[in-house]
């Protein structure tokens, strides 16, 4: 459903993505691991068209979405992304945060949205927090609202960029539980993470990024338990 071919991206002289080839099948969960600065965030932002790529192709559902002439808006509606720093809109309640995009884009009324969105809040254990403002929520709650906000647009694929690394350790589990639930429902996901244990448990495939390249990829049993590359081994020994 998503295929990146020879994707290149530089910031000035800094080559951040260097010939990325990556294919993600429907329902698959792919984890991106790698050192800080290896290009994980940039890769996800490029897929969401928040950053233009310099070169290469991104196929999404049979369409080349890296085409610079394309209007990115309808594509972004089908690709959800959740950021490390939540990025909730601080002047809106949790409910308003979630409703904004469906209301403006799908032109649905508040009343008609309320039922389906309440269900989402319910499922993620936040039914009593819908009227709260972001600064009245814990980090874990904020991050779950951010996930609900992305899910409310009913995306076909979800991108997660280190969504637990700004959280206190005791709040990480509640967010990871959400991902487990999504995975079991067959959501297609790409996730940049430092939670190697979680990546091993849940992901179908792990990609080790190094200097903007995918140095090694495969199922967790290969990449994590039996890495072929010296750099992967060095990275894993540092994070474990």
Partner 1 sequence: MTRRAAHQAQARRKALRIGAGSTIAVFAAVVVFVPMAPGWPAVQRSFFNAEVLQRTFPGLLDAFVLDVMIFAWSAPAIAILGLLVAIARDLRSPAFFPIRLLATVYTDVFRGLPVILVIYLIGFGIPGLGLPRPWNSPYIWGSLALVLVYSAYVAEVIRSGIDSIHRSQRAAALSLGLGHGDTMRFVILPQALRNVLPANMNLVVALQKDVALLSFVGPVEIFRQAGVYKSLYANFTPYVGAALIFLIITIPATRYADYLLQKQRQRQG
Ligand X SMILES: Nc1ncnc2c1ncn2[C@@H]1O[C@H](COP(=O)(O)OP(=O)(O)OP(=O)(O)O)[C@@H](O)[C@H]1O
| Per-residue tokens: 163 | 């969504």
Q: What is the DSSP string of 39-99?
A: SHHHHHHHHTTSS--SEEEEEETTEETT-TTS-HHHHHHHEEEE-TT----TTS-HHHHHH
In the complex, the smallest distance separating the C-beta of residue 158 from partner 1, rounded to whole angstroms, is 11
* Residues of span 171-210 touching Mg ion by CB under 5 A: none
| Residue closer to partner 1, measured from CB, 88 or 94 | 88
| Residue closer to partner 1, measured from CB, 148 or 199 | 148
Q: Are 198 and 167 in contact (CB under 8 A)?
A: no
Alpha helices in the chain (DSSP H): 40-47, 72-78, 94-105, 110-123, 139-151, 169-184, 196-202, 220-223, 230-239
Where do we find the tokens 């999504």? Answer: 182
Query: How many residues in the chain?
Result: 240
In the complex, the smallest distance separating the C-beta of residue 38 from ligand X, rounded to whole angstroms, is 4
| Residue closer to partner 1, measured from CB, 64 or 89 | 89
In the complex, the smallest distance separating the C-beta of residue 123 from ligand X, rounded to whole angstroms, is 29
Q: Binding partner of residue 36 among Mg ion, partner 1, ligand X, none, CB under 5 to 8 Å per kind?
A: ligand X
Which DSSP letter does residue 196 get?
H
Q: Are 46 and 65 in contact (CB under 8 A)?
A: no
Binding site for ligand X (CB under 6 A): 11, 14, 16, 34, 36-42, 162
| Residue closer to partner 1, measured from CB, 117 or 223 | 117
Binding site for partner 1 (CB under 8 A): 45, 48, 50, 72-74, 76-78, 80-81, 83, 85, 87-91, 100-101, 104-105, 149-150, 153
Q: Binding partner of residue 74 among partner 1, Mg ion, ligand X, none, CB under 5 to 8 Å per kind?
A: partner 1
| Residue closer to ligand X, measured from CB, 121 or 195 | 195
In the complex, the smallest distance separating the C-beta of residue 216 from ligand X, rounded to whole angstroms, is 15
Which of 20, 34, 41, 141: binder of Mg ion (CB under 5 A)?
A: 41
CA torsion, ordered 193, 197, 200, 203, to nearest 10 deg: -40
| Residue closer to Mg ion, measured from CB, 41 or 232 | 41
SS3 206: strand
Residues that bind Mg ion (CB under 5 A): 41
């Amino acid at each position: 459903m998503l295929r990146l071919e020879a994707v290149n991206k530089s910031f000035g002289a800094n080559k951040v993505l260097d010939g990325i080839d990556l294919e993600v099948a429907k329902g698959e969960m792919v984890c991106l691991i790698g050192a800080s600065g290896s290009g994980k965030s940039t890769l996800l932002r490029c897929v969401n068209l928040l950053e233009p790529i310099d070169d290469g192709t991104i196929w999404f559902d049979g369409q080349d979405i890296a085409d610079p002439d394309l209007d990115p808006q309808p594509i972004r509606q089908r690709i959800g992304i959740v950021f490390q720093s939540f990025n909730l809109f601080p002047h809106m309640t949790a409910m308003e945060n979630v409703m904004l995009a469906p209301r403006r884009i799908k032109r649905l009324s508040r009343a008609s949205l309320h039922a389906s969105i309440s269900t989402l809040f319910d499922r993620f254990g936040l039914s009593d927090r819908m009227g709260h403002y972001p600064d009245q929520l814990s980090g874990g709650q904020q991050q779950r609202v951010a996930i609900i906000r992305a899910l409310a647009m009913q995306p076909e694929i979800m991108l997660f960029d280190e969504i637990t690394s700004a959280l206190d350790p005791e709040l990480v589990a509640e967010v990871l539980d959400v991902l487990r639930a999504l995975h079991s429902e067959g959501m297609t996901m790409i996730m940049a993470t430092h939670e190697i244990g979680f990546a091993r448990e849940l992901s179908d495939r792990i990609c080790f990024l190094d200097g903007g390249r995918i140095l090694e990829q495969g199922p967790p049993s290969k990449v994590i338990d039996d890495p072929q590359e010296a750099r992967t081994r060095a990275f894993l020994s540092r994070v474990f």
